[in-house]
Structures are given as C-alpha cells and as structure tokens.
Amino acid sequence: MNITDKKHLLRAAWAGALVATIAASQAASPSTAANGKRPNIVIILGDDLGFSDLGSFGGEINTPNLDSLARAGVRCTQFYTHASCSPTRSMLLSGVDTHRNGLGNMDEWTAPNQVNQPGYEGYLNDRVTTLPQLLKNAGYHTYMAGKWHMGKAPNQIPAARGFERDFALLDGAGSYWDMLNFTATTPVSTFTEDGRYLKKLPKNYYATKTYTDKIIGYIEANRGDGKPFFAYVSHQAPHDPYHLPRDWRNRHVGAYDKGWDAVRQERLKRQVELGITPPGTELAERMWFVPDPNLLAPAPRALLGKKMELYAGMVENMDFHVGRLLDYLKAIGEYENTIFIVFGDNGAEGADLFKMIAGTPGTRDFLFAAIQWSQTHPNAWGDPHSYVGYGPMWAQVSMTPFSQYKGNMAEGGIRNALIVSGPIVKRPKGSINRGVLHVADIMPTLLEVAGARYPETLNGQELPPLIGKSWVEVLAGEKESPRSDQDYLAWEMFGNRAVRQGDWKLRWQYKPYGTEEWELFNLAEDVAERHELAAAHPEKVKALLTLWDDYVRANNVILPSRVLWEGMEKKLPDRYPVEAGFPPLIYKRQFIPPTNMLAEPKP
C-alpha cells in the first residue's frame, strides 16, 4: 500500500468513526416547513463584503437578487463575525470559539509562541465536529463550492469534514481566472473537487460563475430523491484581486469620482431612510491617513474612483450569479422551502495586501509579483495577472457608518450585514431586527432546524461547547435577541481584542489603529465609536475586564508574541483628529470683492 492509499484509508476510518459517534445524536423530530418537508439550507458568504454594500443596507451598488431575499425575509443590523476570514469560517462550521477549533490565529500569521499550541493549528482541528457532518448524519445532502481556507491536508479538506460534494479553493485568495497564487513559495493555488486535488481547472473557469455552476449541478444531480440539502456557497468575491469579465467593468464609470466622503454621506442618508441606522447617527471619523478627496487633483481622484468601480462590479457580478441560483431553485420548486442566510465574513479589506505579499525590491516575492502580476495599466485592471484592491478610503465606505475595517476590533472590523429568509422566518417580510447575533449562532440554529443534536463526545473525547445561541425564536418573532444583557461576546485576533455586553463595548488595539489601552464605548449612543468613555466609567471597564479574563481562561487565549502591526506606526503619518475644514488655509476660497468697489489703478 502506498502513502496516498494509506492517507485515504485513514481519512475514511476517521470519517467512519465520526459517523458512528454522532449517529445517535440526531433528534427524533426535526423542524419542518409548512408542507411537512424539512427545509433546504443555503448559506451565501461574501468574502470581505462590507456592511453597507448591498442596496438593502444603503449601498448604491445594484444588488437586486440579494435585496429580494431581504424583502422576503429579515435584515439584522447587529450581527457579528470575526475580524478576518478563516476565523469566521471556522466558527460558522464548528460553532466553537476560534481558540479551541484551530484558528486561534490565521495560519498565515501564527506567532512564534502560538506554534504547536492546541487551538492554533491553523486549520479546523480534529477536536471539533462540523455543521455539514451533523447535517449529513441528519439526512441532508451537503454541498460546498468556493473558498475553504481551513486546511489543505487530506484530513482537513471539505470532503473530510462532512461535505458530500465540493469544489473548493483551499487557499485564502488567488486569481479568479486560473490557479495563480501570490508568493514565490506558493505560486499555485490548491483546489479540490469531491475530495480529490485538481491538476487543472475546468474550461472557461471564472471563480464566481464556476462556483455557482457547481452548486447548481450538485443540487440537480440528487434532485428528486426526497432528501433536503445544505449548500455552502462560499464566494471568493469581492476579495481582491478585483478580477472581472470586461462587460462588468464599466457599469459605474465616473460614479465614484466624487470621492469617498460624499459616497459615505449618501450611504448613511439611505441607511437612515431604510431604518438600518437611526436618525442622528454619526459617521465614523475618516482614517487620519486617508486624504480629503476634495483636495486631490481630478486625475488621481478618478483613478482611485476606478478601483471602486471595479469593486462595485465584483459585487454586482456576485449578485447576478446568486440570481442564477435563486432562479434555478424557483424552477425546480425548491425556493419556497429553502432557508437563505447571507452575510460577509468580516469587515471590508482596507489593507494593501499586494504590497504586504510582494515586499520590497530585491526580494524573491517582489520579483515573483513583478512577473506574475504584471498587468498594472488601469485599462488592464480586472484581467488575468492584474492585481487591484481599493484601499482604506473605500473600505470605510463599505463599512458605513462604522469605524475602521477588516483586521481591527472596531465595529468596522467585526460587524456585518445579515439577511435571513425562507420558511423559518415568521417576522414581517422586509423587517429589521436589532438583536445582538453572532456567526457561531448559525450552528445551533441550523441543528435545531434539521432536528439534529450537538454530540457530547467525538471519538471518545469530550467536544468543546457551542458558544452560539439559536435564532429560531428570534426569526419566529417571539424574541428580539437570543441574548440577554448579561450575556457577552468576546474576540481576539492578531493581538487585538474586544468584549461586548449589552450596549457596552471594551476594545484594545495595537497602534497605530488603537491606543494600546482599553477603550470603552456605548454602542447604543455611539455606533461610530467616536466618544471614548473609559475615564468616565471606570466601574464598567472593570466589569468588562472581568468578562475578558473569563473568556481568556475558558478558551486558552494566547496573545501573540509577534503581530502584523509591527513598524506600522512609523510608516503612517502622526495621528491627529480629522475635522472638516481644518486647517482653514487649504479650504478657504478666493476672496471676491464687491463689484461696486472694483477699480482700476490710479495713474
């Protein structure tokens, strides 16, 4: 027996043990729809999709299909993910805190003191079970297409973690057109299909289209056998690089030349009109190192606007392919019996990932980037071998009205838009819910829907507890939130940390984005986190720090010895408040004397 055969045998044995362990965990009477059938489940995940990007959350981007799900269901405005992608995905599929499920840090940023520590494996570890495995054993088909980012070894890929069919990009990002990856040591992205590693991609591959094709194909292949399905549509879009078919690139030409401040103001106005945010909501302060767009010359402002045009096209293209899936489900009579859960995996991406990856001239990765990502002319943006991201200015637009973006513990890093529709929702169509929800809630919610229980043990080992709370009563209109004011949520990522209880939030962030001190905010009054209250409420700081310490002990939180913020403070300008019209010197208009006082010089 060769090594490959042994690996497949071990994987099969592990999966068989998992089936045997949790077969008895299924509940006797699963939730059913009005027609007596258990509902199908579709999770649509946008990668780096911002809170305000969809039309139903105030965006100007054209998203009719996702907005149709919002009109048919409920929009949730206090839904929390994690600050980065793989940690969010790990909690979605395990229901367990990142520091216990293997993604205590992103694999790409594991600190030296976290290496070989339990909970920091960099992949979804074997001490947790998964939502698709439990649903599979409850009688569901389980399908996945898109980005995985939770392990690449044979026992870590989607087929080994409960997915019956899969077409998966195992890496965190990459080209939308081919298998090109980012660095010289990992030049080729890794894909699997139905548990096998792909040598090449299908003909006419484009990520967003192909993922949709695959999911529709999986559902169609088993249609009619009477079993419900769980489909995890884990889109790569709109994560950079912004790769886009040419006919999708020019739908917003010039629309963003007005600049990021104006677009943020327009989005906030629509959010208030839609009821997403209350009247009087402040916008978060523009990042201090982001220029006032009104001070830029027309050409650079238009060039930066073109990046946002591409991003908007990415979101619209994703929405179009979501529409294809919805149309297919309607055509086969399954739309009305399907629960849809739609959200983005973290805040919008404001960092320059390409610069971080390529490094400096003279390095190996800089040479790789210069050769492989060489299409830098704006007319080539969107083509294969081009790399475009839209930067912190537009990331703040995507996260309107919140502060900061992905990677940070400000609301702009961890709060996102959530849409839930389908037979589980009994609230008025198009309504808005303001309960405090968390991505880890999805596991207990869907287990309740499917009539499955979370097992106590796996392979003889006690499983860590689920940290989420079911939304079934909330979606039925019986409760506003699954949490009381005594419950709390906590986060740690890259050394940044936060805890929220009720309306109060305590956060600690590295410089330059934070102060490296605990900061206190009342989110009911200050969702933009403009007004820091630690000195005014020391008793609240103390109470929340007690909760933070409890979280650290319960989840084996190991603060990293190295962080990605190292040296960043020196690379950015000094931080001063951003106030409109200051300094007056550069905003003052030319003085125009009264015309009746104009005169020619005297001889």
**Catalytically annotated residues:** 85, 149
Instruction: Quote the Cα angle for 298-303-308, to 5°.
Output: 120
Question: DSSP state, 532?
Answer: -
- How far, in Å, CA of 114 to CA of 563, rounded? 12
In three-state form (DSSP H/G/I as H, E/B as E, the rest C), the secondary structure along 111-159 is CHHHCCCCCCCCCCCCCCCCHHHHHHHCCCEEEEEEECCCCCCCCCCHH
Cis preceding-peptide flag for 401 (omega within 30 of 0): yes
What pairing do the DSSP bridges indicate for beta strands 519-522 and 504-508?
Answer: antiparallel
Amino acid identity at 289: F
Bridging pattern class, strands 191-193 and 141-147? unpaired
The CA–CA distances, whole Å, from 430 to 203, 396, 441, 470 equal: 40, 26, 21, 21
- What's the CA gap between 524 and 23, in Å, rounded? 44
Give the three-class secondary structure for 490: strand
> Cβ(420)–Cβ(339) under 8 Å?
yes
**Structure token digits, residue 55:** 């039309």
If DSSP codes are grouped into helix, strand and coil, which group holds residue 295? helix
Max CA-CA distance within the chain? 108
Q: How far apart are CA 74 and CA 426, in angstroms?
A: 9
Q: Give the DSSP H or E segment for 232.
A: strand 229-234
Across 479-525, the runs of DSSP E, i.e. the strands, are 488-493, 496-501, 504-508, 519-522
Distances, alpha carbon 313 to alpha carbons 53, 244, 245, 252, 362, in Å: 11, 7, 9, 8, 35
Q: Cβ(124)–Cβ(103) under 8 Å?
A: yes
Contact call for residues 400 and 270 (beta carbons, < 8 A): no
Q: Count CB atoms within 10 A of the CB of residue 196.
A: 13
DSSP codes of every residue in 368-428: HHHHHT---SGGGTTSTT-----HHHHHHHHTTTSSS-TTSSSHHHHEEEEEEESTT--SP
**Beta carbons within 10 angstroms of residue 159's beta carbon:** 20
CB 216: neighbour CB atoms within 10 A?
A: 20
**How far is Cα 602 from Cα 479, in angstroms, rounded to an integer?**
82
What is the rounded (10 degree) CA torsion for 344, 514, 104, 392? 30
Q: How far is Cα 111 from Cα 88, in angstroms, rounded to an integer?
A: 19
DSSP assignment, residue 557? Answer: -
Cβ neighbours for 211, distance < 8 A, ≥ 6 positions apart: 145, 146, 167, 233, 234, 235, 236, 321
